[in-house]
Structure 1
Amino acid sequence: MKKYFIQNTPFIVPTNDGKLIEEHHGKASTDNAEISIAHMVAPPKWSEPFQTPEFEEYTYVIKGKKQFIIEEEIIILKAGQSIKIEKNTRVQYSNPFDEPCEYIAICKPAFDFTKVHREE
């Protein structure tokens, strides 16, 4: 048995907001509930509802900028910066800027739609 796995075919998460989500490791792609790693590109003016996930989320921005509203604080991350958001923290992710934002997201345990708790 090999001691490694190279991911060549990430799971493309279906979206209807123009955001690209390629899950390389996680529940949908490799049936790994412990951690998820996804490559994402958020289009200009993209946003999603507030959420309070039951998992930690790490974000590393590759290109562009990404806005976070954490509790009541607005934080803007630029290329080369990263952030860790603790589980059970109310957060909104968005790209209110005029250029796409490319980033890596890591969730621990893995991203789970039933544990993200998005607000309507």
Structure 2
Amino acid sequence: MKKYTLQKSPFIVPTTDGKLIEEHHGLASTKNPELSVAHMIAPAGWSEPFQTPEFDEYTYIIRGKKQFIIEDEVVVLEAGQSIRIDKNTRVQYSNPFEEECEYIAICTPAFDFTKVHREE
């Protein structure tokens, strides 16, 4: 039995907002409930509603910029920067800038849409 899991075909999460989500490890791709790793590209002008996830989320920016509104504080990350946002924290993710943003997101436990708690 191999002591590793090689991922050559990530799960492409269907979206309607132009954002590319490639889950390499997690619930949708490898049925791993403990951790998810996703490569993402958020187009210019993209945003999501506020949410209060039941998981910690780590984000590493590869290129471009990404804006976070964490509770009431605005934080902007640029390429080479990263952040960890604790579970049960109200946050909004967006890219209000003129170029797309490419980044890696890691969630512990794994991303689960039923535990995101997006606001309508």
TM-score (norm 1): 0.99
Structure-1 residue corresponding to 2:7: 7
Residue 6 of structure 1 and its aligned partner are, at CA, apart by 1.1
Structure-2 residue corresponding to 1:21: 21
Give the alignment of 1:59-98 within 5 angstroms.
59-98=59-98
Deviations 1:11-69 (A, max 9, x none): 00000000000000000000000000000000000000000000000000000000000
Task: Provide the rounded CA distance (Å) in 1 between the counterparts of 2:108 and 2:33.
Answer: 8
TM-score (norm 2): 0.99
Query: Aligned residues, how many?
Result: 120
Q: Aligned letter for 2:2?
A: K
Q: Aligned letter for 1:85?
A: I
Q: Aligned letter for 1:99?
A: E
Task: Provide the rounded CA distance (Å) in 2 between the counterparts of 1:4 and 1:27.
Answer: 17
Structure-1 residue corresponding to 2:44: 44
Q: Aligned letter for 2:88?
A: N
Q: 3-state SS of the aligned residue for 1:30?
A: coil
Structure-2 residue corresponding to 1:103: 103
Aligned Cα root-mean-square deviation (Å): 0.3
Q: Aligned letter for 1:62?
A: I
Residue 5 of structure 1 and its aligned partner are, at CA, apart by 1.4
Q: Aligned letter for 1:112?
A: D
Structure-2 residue corresponding to 1:117: 117
Task: Provide the rounded CA distance (Å) in 2 between the counterparts of 1:84 and 1:91.
Answer: 12
Unaligned runs of 5+ in 2: none
Structure-2 residue corresponding to 1:33: 33
Task: Provide the rounded CA distance (Å) in 2 between the counterparts of 1:95 and 1:28.
Answer: 25
Unaligned runs of 5+ in 1: none
Deviations 1:76-116 (A, max 9, x none): 00000000000000000000000000000000000001100
Q: Aligned letter for 1:96?
A: P
